[in-house]
Structure 1
Amino acid sequence: MKLGIVSILAVSLMVSCKNAQVKKEETAQNTMVNHTITDEQLMDKVQKEALKCFWDYAEPHSMLGRERYHEDNIYPDNDKHVVTTGGSGFGLATVLVGVERGFVPRKEAVKRLTNMMDFLAKADRHKGAWSHWINGETGKTVPFGKKDNGGDLVETAFLTSGILMVREYFKNGNAEEKALAKKCDDLWKGIQWNWYTKGGEKVLYWHWSPDYQWDMNFPLEGYNECLITYILAASSPTYSIDAETYYKGWARNGAYLTDKTKYGLPLYVKHNYAEEYGGPLFWSQYSYIGLDPTGLSDKLVKNYFDLNKNQVLIDYKYCVENPKQWKGYGPNYWGLTAGYTRNEDGSTGYTAHMPTNDNGVITPTAALSSFPYTPKESMDFLRFIYTQKPQFIGSAGPYDATSINYNNWFTPRYLAIDQGTIAPMIENYRTGFLWKLFMNAPEIQQGLKKLSFQSTKYGIK
């Protein structure tokens, strides 16, 4: 689901979850996790459960991630076969975690991943980019909006990050694995990143449609979740952009820097439309599934890890301060990011939760995908929700949206783009597994150097 603030989808499902919630609460005590469970066991558990969205509940033909999975079996617009491009990229990373941790057999994963790459090769592409949504049965573009029926460069970037990590993981394997890596490489090289500069403008654009051309008119300017798009575009061996496009377009010639602080913590950059507190927490996560912020800098931002850590800590401190006095908010129950929400009439909708848009709903992926930045605070949340709030846990881990304030309200539903960041970011905290795969890709190292990035961790100067 597209999550730039000005283009957030306002989904109003208007369906009550009451019956599903009552049923879940009846069995909640049977699924209570014992307090003696160790931190390592808890992390294993939530990673393995989040994997189900992309392994057990994948779209059956393409094997890619469904836009959403509903345990209440209520699907609007018959979208069981709608594949999400960006969420599938996070799903690829999640599957790799599953292989590395032994949750799924390596051979089965190779077979499934090969199926995915074959599907993507035949699916509709728009100057090499995929659309936001794809029909998992036919490979045809599913419009995200009337004029949003073509290439989506940001969702394509999230997908490509996963594709590159798959390539790196299997490129030195057996014959089947090398063949899979080759398919990944071909897909990567076919994306025309520079086309999305609209004829050479020094900025990337989010959308292009064969029917509506550039009518969406959404330039990618920082700071939000789109950094990875510029990194990949600069790293492309076939259709790359130059450094000027990054610094003029994304960095706005330095105009996105700020000296503002919140709770005594520097923000470093102006978070678009959310300069006071920083944006929703997915901004510290989506670009960093593979891109390692540890010791990472460019000519303007001196430490990306500090930038992300401070954004998360500001969100955490806001929830602990709890200026709106929502019931339940505190050190063990925090985290605001885009996802499902509770409408005023009690139905389920969608919004970008953040301190400046806080309606009493906590999205578990916010804290869980922040493990690299706030390991103690994230673990406190993980332990609390599994040991104290089992009604918030479904078959694929914590549900997408929860609220203690509204009588333990929750959605018995999952969004791929939310659930897909949990296992990867926890793994990056535990072992740095995905960060190492992505950062050691030769093109990525060259692309970072082109943009004057430095990484003390990977020797990039």
Structure 2
Amino acid sequence: MKRTLLTIAVTSLFFTYSCKNAQVSQPKTTENKTVKSNITDEQLMDKVQQDALKYFWDYAEPNSMLGRERYHEDDIYPDNDKHVITTGGSGFGLATILVGVERGFVPRKEAVKRLTKMMDFLAKADRHKGAWSHWINGETGKTVSFGKKDNGGDLVETAFLTSGILMVREYFKNGNAEEKALAAKCDELWKGIQWNWYTKGGEKVLYWHWSPEYQWEMNFPLEGYNECLITYILAASSPTYSIDAETYYKGWTRNGTYLTDKTKYGLPLYVKYNYAEEYGGPLFWAQYSYIGLDPTGLSDKLVKNYFDVNKNQTLIDYKYCVENPKQWKGYGPNYWGLTAGYTRNQDGSTGYTAHMPTNDNGVITPTAALSSFPYTPKESMDFLRFIYTQKPEFIGSAGPYDATSVNYNNWSTPRYLAIDQGTIAPMIENYRTGFLWKLFMNAPEIQQGLKKLSFQSSKYGIK
């Protein structure tokens, strides 16, 4: 699900149409979802990780086995959307499956078989100068338009997918013959992405979209700060179609002008968040690029520590919810977190918006706090414990529902989005063990790409 604020309006229109007049109902399942209050923190993290895995393991698109754009427990599902897979969400799904293998939630051999099928599908699916489209038909592999002119390559969604592909490669590259074959397929997909094509003829900036039909008409340069940092990291790291450091510093950092000395709640923001400079933006900006990219002690020529950037953005969101200036019922230390996702429209139907302090309508998106564990472990654990032990009505078959509200009479939508559910297990695992961070950061090309961009990380010997 594309989240940059310039595209939220388009996405909202799509969701309004597809959910028109759809009042939220409770799912048909009647299983007892109550969790005992004496459950340990470790058991709770195991549970939510295993629940989130179900989205990509049990509810995967049946032909490609990749992540569906959405899954509705209330059976409100557009007929033309049943086989739409999401590129970025599928990348997070790959990371989620790796967590499942590492923790023994799914058998390694079965995971290898399924992951191989996914890579075979991606190899045959439509590609646009090596990049995949935002949405793909899971039956045919054909591009599904995200918007009228958004019917070609989507470099950011491709980056989220590629991050997952590289972690799969690193995890299995020294395994048995079947695992090595899977890793080789991943490597081939990675090397086929023409990152430098997306500089529109050599401009010192990456562009989000290119379409064979509309060419560069979407005209969306990737400039910071938002969720797109990983796109530049991968583009610089490519062994086949790389960009140079000048493209990163002139494009992403806006010639170094995206730094700020602003603070909120006494916390420095460090960077100018696009269209959200006062509080930082929706929390997915601190999550999507960091499924594999470890921000701990990570610096470049301008930012001294990316972990501090993400931690402060998350704490600002938390402190805003605790302050609760709009006086929404329920907001507090154990119920917080604003990010893009489903929302409750004024008429009670379900829509979509980028929740954040400057766009707060009383709806809490569970993935916001749950995917913030590396930055706010105590605050995230308080949320996790509250929602599982005290709000079973907010929990479905694949974990917490995408949108909840104590304020609106304990309203929730029994629906899931891949891009939201897919960050939960990986980011919790990065907090617990650093598992995915280690896989990604130790990939040889990533090490070289980071050095090219003058990144440093003593943790991984990058200087």
Question: Shorter-chain-normalised TM-score: which range?
Answer: over 0.9
Contact 2:371 2:427 in 1 (8 A): yes
Structure 1 residues 27-36 or 338-347, which shifts more? 27-36
Cα drift, residue 153 of structure 1: 0.1
Contact 2:49 2:424 in 1 (8 A): yes
Contact 1:221 1:251 in 2 (8 A): yes
Cα drift, residue 456 of structure 1: 1.6
Cα drift, residue 253 of structure 1: 1.0
Q: Given the superposition, is the C-alpha separation of residues 193 and 54 from structure 1 closer, same or farther in structure 2, using an over 3 Å criterion?
A: same
Matched, 1:209 2:242: no
Cα drift, residue 254 of structure 1: 1.0
Distance in 1 of aligned mates of 2:5 and 2:460: 33
How many percent of aligned residue pairs carry the same amino acid?
Answer: 91
The 3-state SS of whatever aligns with 2:341 is strand
Structure 2 residue aligned with 1:171: 173
Contact 2:28 2:74 in 1 (8 A): no
Cα drift, residue 27 of structure 1: 7.7
Structure 2 residue aligned with 1:427: 429
Q: Given the superposition, is the C-alpha separation of residues 127 and 293 from structure 1 closer, same or farther in structure 2, using an over 3 Å criterion?
A: same
Cα drift, residue 30 of structure 1: 3.0
Deviations 1:311-353 (A, max 9, x none): 0000000000000000000000000000000011110000000
Q: Given the superposition, is the C-alpha separation of residues 198 and 10 from structure 1 closer, same or farther in structure 2, using an over 3 Å criterion?
A: closer
Contact 2:335 2:386 in 1 (8 A): yes
Distance in 2 of aligned mates of 1:37 and 1:258: 43
The 3-state SS of whatever aligns with 2:447 is helix
The 3-state SS of whatever aligns with 1:309 is helix
Aligned length, in residue pairs: 459
Structure 2 residue aligned with 1:446: 448
Contact 2:24 2:350 in 1 (8 A): no
* Gap regions ≥5 residues in structure 1: none
The 3-state SS of whatever aligns with 2:459 is coil
Contact 1:165 1:438 in 2 (8 A): yes
Deviations 1:370-423 (A, max 9, x none): 000000000000000001100000000000000000000001000000000000
Distance in 1 of aligned mates of 2:24 and 2:135: 33
Distance in 1 of aligned mates of 2:27 and 2:93: 29
Contact 2:128 2:211 in 1 (8 A): yes
Distance in 2 of aligned mates of 1:81 and 1:369: 27
Structure 1 residues 21-30 or 203-212, which shifts more? 21-30
Distance in 2 of aligned mates of 1:22 and 1:341: 11
Structure 1 residues 29-38 or 82-91, which shifts more? 29-38
Q: Given the superposition, is the C-alpha separation of residues 345 and 20 from structure 1 closer, same or farther in structure 2, using an over 3 Å criterion?
A: closer
Cα drift, residue 76 of structure 1: 2.0
Distance in 1 of aligned mates of 2:10 and 2:405: 20
Deviations 1:268-311 (A, max 9, x none): 00000000000000000000000000010000000000000000
Structure 2 residue aligned with 1:133: 135
Spell out the pairing of 1:367-406 with structure 2 (5 A cutoff): 367-406=369-408
Deviations 1:419-447 (A, max 9, x none): 00000000000000000000000000000
Q: Given the superposition, is the C-alpha separation of residues 118 and 104 from structure 1 closer, same or farther in structure 2, using an over 3 Å criterion?
A: same
Deviations 1:142-192 (A, max 9, x none): 000000000000000000000000000000000000000000000000000
Q: Given the superposition, is the C-alpha separation of residues 203 and 17 from structure 1 closer, same or farther in structure 2, using an over 3 Å criterion?
A: closer
The 3-state SS of whatever aligns with 1:414 is strand
The 3-state SS of whatever aligns with 2:28 is helix
Q: Given the superposition, is the C-alpha separation of residues 208 and 364 from structure 1 closer, same or farther in structure 2, using an over 3 Å criterion?
A: same
Structure 1 residue aligned with 2:150: 148
Q: Given the superposition, is the C-alpha separation of residues 140 and 268 from structure 1 closer, same or farther in structure 2, using an over 3 Å criterion?
A: same
Contact 1:28 1:390 in 2 (8 A): no
Cα drift, residue 78 of structure 1: 2.5
Contact 2:2 2:11 in 1 (8 A): no
Distance in 2 of aligned mates of 1:272 and 1:333: 26
Distance in 2 of aligned mates of 1:21 and 1:142: 27
The 3-state SS of whatever aligns with 2:29 is helix
Q: Given the superposition, is the C-alpha separation of residues 134 and 264 from structure 1 closer, same or farther in structure 2, using an over 3 Å criterion?
A: same
Distance in 2 of aligned mates of 1:248 and 1:12: 32
Cα drift, residue 73 of structure 1: 1.3
Distance in 2 of aligned mates of 1:167 and 1:298: 26
Contact 1:17 1:411 in 2 (8 A): no
RMSD: 1.8
Structure 2 residue aligned with 1:234: 236
* Gap regions ≥5 residues in structure 2: none
Task: Name the TM-score, length of structure 1 as normaliser.
Answer: 0.97
Distance in 1 of aligned mates of 2:24 and 2:421: 23
